[in-house]
Amino acid sequence: MSNMNRIYIAGHKGMVGSAVQRLLSSDTKNTIITAAHNDLDLTNQRQVNEFIGDQNVDQVYLAAAKVGGILANNNFPAEFIYNNLMIEANVIHASFLNKVKKLLFLGSSCIYPKFANQPITEMALLSGYLEPTNEPYAIAKIAGIKLCESYNRQYGKKYGIDFRSIMPTNLYGPGDNYSLDNSHVVPALIRRFHEAKKNNSSEVIVWGSGKPKREFLYVDDMARACVFVNNLKKRKLDLLTSEMCSHLNAGFGSEISISNLSEIIKNIIGFDGKIIFDKSKPDGPSRKFLDSKLLNDLGWMPQISLEEGIKKSYAYFLENYA
């Protein structure tokens, strides 16, 4: 039993958490620990402390978060900042109290300033103003990074804890949210083009001008990045990071315009009509491209192309939503 890893995945039903669970479950040395929201409220400090203590956890993957697109972030800013702050503070502190040595916190590329130089390096954090549409969510995620760094600085050497952070670019794939109201761009477009094809519509309306460029990483590649980072030798990681800038970017390595992305999804789904861009709707930042050189230099690279990933995502949509 001593060779077993007891790994708690917070947010195992979310897109990233479920991908991490799929990957870790393939190793028989891992015992995966999860809890449904009905059984464990991560915003409740007492419940989280008791759960992590009772489960005798060795490692934590903190993938739990309240997430959504531009519309959701605009409509529910208080929920986004409060829930995310509570979740990460409770899980990180409970992990420390219960002698968990390894924790990986999942952030978001929206932590970086709106006008950060592109591609965005880890050093850009806290160097400028955030994008207003998702500032509350970004502030919470920045706090999560700084929680990990602060616990490492204060308790790392004394107690041997090692809390790490990874910042994914825009993710898509199985487990994504295909809601019409608050989904991200890839699942939103998959659903719109699918329904337009099904209803024999002549056009699909896409928010914004189509000009902004984005980077997209398939979620199973992100899961591999998470496990890779969490299992890296500390001395190797320390060579490329510092105690006040310890997070790592995880991106695909190239970007695509929303216009070109729309064409790819249109073709994969087989929609024959026109694409209309609604310029009255917000674009968000013109670019958001992560510099993933540090993670690449450490030995991780993505494996799934955008076209392959979108085909897999559409197959998942057809199986679960169509």
Positions annotated as catalytic residues are 137
Tell me how far the alpha carbon of residue 95 is from its chain's centroid.
21
- Which CA distances in Å does 19 have to 155, 211, 319? 30, 31, 17
Q: Are 278 and 206 in contact (CB under 8 A)?
A: yes
- Which CA distances in Å does 290 have to 133, 178, 192, 213? 19, 25, 27, 12
Single-letter code of the amino acid located at 114: K
Q: Are 136 and 80 in contact (CB under 8 A)?
A: yes
> Do the bridges between strand 256-257 and strand 213-214 make them parallel or antiparallel, or are there none, so unpaired?
antiparallel
Rounded-to-integer distance, Cα 23 and Cα 57, Å: 18
Contacts with 137 (C-beta within 8 Å, 6 or more apart), sequence order: 66, 67, 73, 80, 81, 84, 108, 110
Q: By three-state DSSP, how is residue 178 classified?
A: coil
